[in-house]
Amino acid sequence: MSEILGYLIGGIGVFFVGMHLLTLGLKQITGRRLQVLLAKWTGDDFRGGLVGCLIGAVTQSMSGLSFVLASLISVGMITVRQTVPVMCWANAGVGILILIAFLNIQVAILFVLGIAGISYAFEKPLKYRHLAQALLGMGLLFYGLFMIRTGAAPLGETEWFKYILTQCRNSYFLGFLIGAILTAISQTSSAVTILAIAMTHAGQFSVEETIMIIYGANFGSSISTGILATSLKGTPRQLVMAQVLFNGVAAAILLPLFYLETQAGIPLIKALVFQLSDRFEQQMGWVFILYNLAGAIALSFCFGPYTRMLAYFWPATTEEEWSKVKYLNEQALKEPLTAVALLNQEQIRLFTQLPKYMDEIRTADQSANKPALRPLNEAFFSVSKEIEMFASELLSHCDRAPDIAEQVIHLKKRQDLITALNGVVFDLASALEKWSSTPAGRPFRNTFLECLDTILLMACDAMESRTAEDCETLKRLTSDRGDMMQKMRRTYLSREESMTSKDRLAFLEVTGLFERAVWILARIAQTLTNHGETQ
């Protein structure tokens, strides 16, 4: 039993490590061209469904596929609306291949783990290190699922497992329930289905009871997926819950049909599979397929409402909203002048997010909650990366427009300064958040907080208005403040009696970061008065 628990716990740990590495790797390799390519592949429901069938047939793991697609959503490579058709029809792809043969991709995953792991560890080739990280994460994700299945596999041979399965005799609903529970435990609906077919051959079950066990086994796969989804939030969780609800939709369709056939004698699913094959194993394989086809076909008529329902119950988090671009789009690149204007607007919008660091600290002070500084920084970096990629691609469209190219280069240089400023403001906000609230430290901490907020708000006004008055005000606020900082240092550090060593270190760190932030803001103010931007 300890070995089983070891596999289960170890598999869960490996699964989550793989999920983390996959997400980090995808964040690094996400590019505009790759996003366009993915959008093209899943541009409509038909192509998305076709891609889903192929992926489902190859991966043979809806749990793994759910979390891989959730990672793509979390880094903005694809939307929930695009992935819902892929996910629904991937279930049908899994079922179709089960009818032919069960594909074991464990050896392939081991090769992926070995090659990607070596490449990632030695960073060879260097330019593919992020791709190696993503592949290593994907390999660990699937290998974690294999470990969970390996640990749970011996359960199918235990007497209590078989005893529970035999309790469903003469009770259709109990067969459905036990099939769902055993799949949640064993992590594989295929194993439960095969065991039920074998026991039917031995005379333990009737055909009707076996059908209900297969329905329950499919439904039970949602239980384990739902449990693993508790670590996700926002739009990534929407997709995983779409898979969970998919099996519920299929069950809601097929269970009433089952009872109509068995109780009223109306020929439906059982009669159909008997027409499709004379062999019992293939008949039950068709039952497995029809279950997944029922859900895919039904949801194909309402992908839009289905996606909106998912967004209603599992809305995007605040951090996700922070990380989305508002003005940039692929079509704008066809009109360079329009693209420059949109790029400028996106840059301004991003810059105005900087005072949120101060807002988070104030909110945390009032509510005693931890401020969301790191998520805000990650969201800022994500949008900044989109701006840089858009600007680089826009430059390639400006070969015959040197004046537009000059504007883009100017915006790129300013973006470098804004990105650097964000890093300093994040470090400064983190230092202020950690600063202890001793009598000596509290007034200085609040002074720095309000001073930084005031300068950032003034900079936001100057970025938005570009008037000569606002730009001059910003330049005065960010002029050399070395004498003032030295005076503050002497005043603060002279309070030996009421000051802790932690306060002294925090004060020195904050003053250094504050001076750095003001210096970068002064350079940004200078860019606002160049190239005739002031009004």
For the chain, the domains span 2-313, 320-528
DSSP three-state, residue 161: helix
Amino acid identity for residue 279 in this structure: R
pLDDT digits (tens, 9 = 90+) for 244-290: 888 889 999 999 999 999 888 888 999 998 998 888 877 887 888 88
The pLDDT tens digits of the residues spanning 22-49 come to 767 766 665 555 555 556 666 678 888 8
Q: What is the mean pLDDT of the chain?
A: 79
Q: How confident is the model over 513-521, as a mean pLDDT?
A: 90
Interval 470-481 mean pLDDT: 81
Tell me the per-residue pLDDT of 50-109, one tens digit each, with 9 for 90 and over: 888 877 765 556 666 677 777 667 656 678 888 888 888 888 877 665 555 444 567 777
- CATH class, range 320-528: mainly alpha
pLDDT at 199 over 60: yes
Higher pLDDT, 297 or 435: 297
Q: Which pLDDT band, with edges at 50, 70 and 90, does 427 fall under?
A: very high
What pLDDT shows up at residue 101? 41
Q: Which helix (H) or strand (E) segment is 146 a member of?
A: helix 129-152
Closest CA to 517 of 466, 433, 452, 450: 452
Q: What is the mean pLDDT of the segment spanning 167-193?
A: 74
Q: In percent, how much of the chain has pLDDT > 70?
A: 77
**Which residue intervals of 314-401 are DSSP H helices?**
318-322, 336-351, 356-367, 373-395
DSSP 469-520: HHHHHHHHHTS--HHHHHHHHHHHHT-GGG--HHHHHHHHHHHHHHHHHHHH
Q: Summarize the confidence of residues 323-334 as an average pLDDT.
A: 80
Q: What share of the chain is helix, strand, coil (3-state, %, to 5)?
A: 80, 0, 20
Mean pLDDT of the region 361-382: 84
Residue whose tokens read 């990366």: 385
CB atoms within 10 A of CB 339: 25
What is the distance between the alpha carbons of residues 46 and 127, in angstroms, rounded to a whole number? 35
Cα(13)–Cα(244) distance, rounded to whole angstroms? Answer: 22
Contact 225, 62 (CB under 8 A): yes
Peptide bond into 236 cis (omega under 30): no
Apex CA 252: angle with CA 246 and CA 253, to 5°?
A: 95
CA–CA distance, 145 with 229 (Å, rounded to integer)? 14
The answer to whether the CB of 462 falls within 8 A of the CB of 403 is: no
Most confident residue range from 84-98, 162-176, 311-325: 311-325
pLDDT level of residue 473 (50, 70, 90 thresholds): confident
Please, what is the angle between helix 280-300 and helix 80-100, to 10°? 170
